[in-house]
Amino acid sequence: MRHIEVIPTGDALGAEVRGVNIAKPIADDIAAEIRQAFLDHLVIFLHDQDITPQQQLAFAQRFGEPMAYPQLKGLSESPLVTPVIKLEHERVNFGGIWHSDTAYLEHPPMASMLYALETPPRGGDTLFANQYLAYETLSDSIKKTLHGLIGVNTSTKAEASKTREDRMRDSGDELKVLVSKHPAVRTHPETGRKSLYVNIGHTSHFEGWTENESRDLLTLLFNHQVQSEFVFRFHWEPGSLAFWDNRCTQHLPVNDYQGYRRVMHRVTLAGDRPR
């Protein structure tokens, strides 16, 4: 890298990017290096950023097309920026289950970009899991079983929909029932690597199998894909920004900061149909 410093943060995935102020327009050669770091490390982190929603959106637009989050309204002044908030009295955190963002869409997002405005004095970390490694470490027999299997993903799995209830109630939104079918193993369109593409938050069963028939294999995969050796834990501070690849990662916001407020802004980048 000629313009930025990239410091790996964990053996499984993740890197900190230094030398970039995203409040200002980013030159093409710098954006290219940031994208390469993103592809190499699956999730990248920038610290000490002081940005408006419009500046976050402008930075995100250097890497893809921002899209609306289907379940919640965005900010009034910047509709493609979605507030992700947990208030002091709330017990359940938004998205508090292992998942890849909105896998229930026909074209799931390529990436998500989350910026921290307010963080609790302790806790509130996010775990990220490498789904390349999750696939590559499966036995040949399981890989053969998964070949050609299609996962059915839904927005209404109880474990995931419960995590959105507080935000949807406050905004007056209703849960949208969305269902999509995607390969259980997908090939990354930019790197060519295969990754495991089922998740406990959204995948209900395999196409052509009942939920009961799917349960044992899905449970095995759900447990396998978030083993500690595939995971990096990120600690947020105000001004931190994380940019992760939904095509080859999962994430879990940890709900361990009861009594404190956490306020983030998210931009989601549109993706293609998994293959």
Give the integer Cα–Cα distance in Å for 149 and 213.
13
Query: Catalytic pick from 41, 101, 167, 202?
Result: 101
Question: Would residue 188 show up in a list of annotated catalytic residues for this protein?
Answer: no
Question: Would residue 251 show up in a list of annotated catalytic residues for this protein?
Answer: yes
Question: Would residue 101 show up in a list of annotated catalytic residues for this protein?
Answer: yes
Tallying the residues shown for the chain, one arrives at: 275
Q: Scanning the structure block, which residue is given the tokens 């978030």? A: 226
φ/ψ of residue 130, rounded to 5: -85, 115
Give the integer Cα–Cα distance in Å for 180 and 195.
18
Burial (0-12, 13-18, 19+ Cβ within 10 Å), 84: buried
Query: Catalytic pick from 167, 186, 202, 251?
Result: 251
Query: Catalytic pick from 164, 202, 262, 266?
Result: 266
Give the integer Cα–Cα distance in Å for 65 and 271.
8
Give the integer Cα–Cα distance in Å for 245 and 242.
10
Question: Would residue 99 show up in a list of annotated catalytic residues for this protein?
Answer: yes
Catalytic residue positions, numbered: 99, 101, 251, 266
